[in-house]
């Protein structure tokens, strides 16, 4: 067999490979605990492209172990409705319903491991990893970004909180994201190098809008790259109007972590 013929056959074989796309089931282990999660892979996926990664943290109503509940709404719904807006690998971890503060504990480590797995499996770009979450996931976004700022290229907390809080759905007690006399300033200093877009509804009776107002003010006082959008008359579900915005994801996917 000639070298040219061999190369041609290899090229044909690769071209004929079926690449699995859509919402895919995945599982990982953290200290012996199983975490099921999902990864969205766009239909246009090919392994020769370096893909951005979006990490999505769910709220307190989606704690569990089925690996599915966290994709019944939120950003997963936006993908189903507007798939063309998401030329990215999107990771949907699920934190356990174990009464621990979700993403601040082992659930957060599982989320970061899921991102590492997605980067390896789908040729992800470590310089374009974006973090978003809503409600308890907004708290998790502030937490992971403030403790691991070098992991992310942009941050989008939706109706999140940074001070001590007890979940109205889960009953979980969340400690402050950072223990300090002024947690807003402490968190702002930790994430001030990131481009940030904050969303909240001004009629939120679950997580009061002051949480996001204080964070936006603390970041602006530091000269950080922050945008703040407040939805008039919107209650706790600020994630649907936030994730419905095409301009949010256009902005997000332009961000890139500087090379070090």
Give the pairing type, strands 173-174 and 165-166.
Answer: antiparallel
Domain presence at residue 103: yes
Domain presence at residue 242: yes
What separation in angstroms does the CA of 191 have from each of 148, 154, 199, 249?
A: 9, 10, 16, 20
- In the prediction, which pLDDT does 17 show? 54
What span, in angstroms and rounded, lies between the C-alpha atoms of 60 and 206?
A: 11
Q: 150: domain range?
A: 21-252
Q: Which residues pair with 29 in a beta bridge?
A: 34
pTM confidence score = 0.92
pLDDT tens-place values along the chain, 260 residues long = 443 433 333 333 334 456 799 999 999 999 999 999 999 999 999 999 999 999 999 999 999 999 999 999 999 999 999 999 999 999 999 999 999 998 999 999 999 999 999 999 999 999 999 999 999 999 999 999 999 999 999 999 999 999 999 988 788 899 999 999 999 999 999 999 999 999 999 999 999 999 999 999 999 999 999 999 999 999 999 999 999 999 999 999 999 998 65
Domain presence at residue 258: no
Domain presence at residue 72: yes
Domain presence at residue 1: no
Q: Number of structural domains, the chain? A: 1
What span, in angstroms and rounded, lies between the C-alpha atoms of 237 and 16?
A: 44
What separation in angstroms does the CA of 198 have from each of 11, 139, 155, 181, 215?
A: 46, 12, 8, 23, 9
Domain presence at residue 188: yes
- Give CA angle at 253 (178, 192), nearest 5°: 30
- In the prediction, which pLDDT does 260 show? 59
Tabulate helix, strand, coil % of the chain (nearest 5).
35, 25, 40
Q: Which residues pair with 51 in a beta bridge?
A: 124
Domain presence at residue 15: no
Q: Domain of 210: which CATH number?
A: 3.40.50.1820
- 178 CB contacts (<8 Å, ≥6 apart)? 146, 162, 186, 187, 190
User: Which residue from 127, 75, 68 is spatially nearest to 93, judged by alpha carbons?
Assistant: 68
Domain presence at residue 14: no
């Amino acid at each position: 067999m000639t070298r040219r013929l061999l190369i041609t056959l290899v090229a044909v074989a690769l071209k004929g490979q079926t690449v699995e796309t859509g919402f895919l089931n995945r599982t990982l282990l953290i200290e012996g605990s199983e975490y099921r999660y999902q990864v969205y892979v766009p239909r246009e996926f090919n392994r020769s492209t370096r893909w951005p990664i979006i990490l999505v943290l769910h709220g307190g109503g989606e704690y569990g172990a089925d690996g599915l509940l966290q994709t019944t709404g939120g950003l997963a719904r936006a993908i189903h409705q507007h798939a063309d807006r998401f030329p990215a690998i999107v990771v949907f971890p699920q934190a356990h319903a174990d009464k621990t503060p979700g993403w601040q504990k082992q659930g957060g480590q599982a989320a970061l491991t899921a991102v590492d797995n997605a980067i390896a499996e789908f040729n992800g770009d470590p310089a374009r990893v974006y973090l978003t979450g809503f409600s308890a996931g907004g708290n998790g976004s502030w937490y992971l970004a403030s403790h691991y700022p070098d992991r992310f290229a942009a941050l989008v907390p939706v109706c999140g909180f940074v001070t001590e809080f007890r979940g109205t759905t889960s009953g979980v007690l969340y400690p402050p994201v950072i223990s300090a006399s002024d947690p807003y300033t402490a968190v702002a200093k930790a994430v001030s190098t990131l481009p940030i877009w904050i969303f909240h509804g001004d009629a939120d009776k679950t997580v009061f809008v002051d949480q996001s107002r204080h964070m936006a003010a603390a970041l602006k006082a530091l000269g950080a790259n922050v945008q703040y959008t407040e939805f008039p008359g919107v209650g706790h579900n600020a994630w649907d109007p936030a994730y419905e915005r095409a301009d949010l994801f256009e902005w997000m996917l332009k961000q890139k972590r500087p090379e070090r």
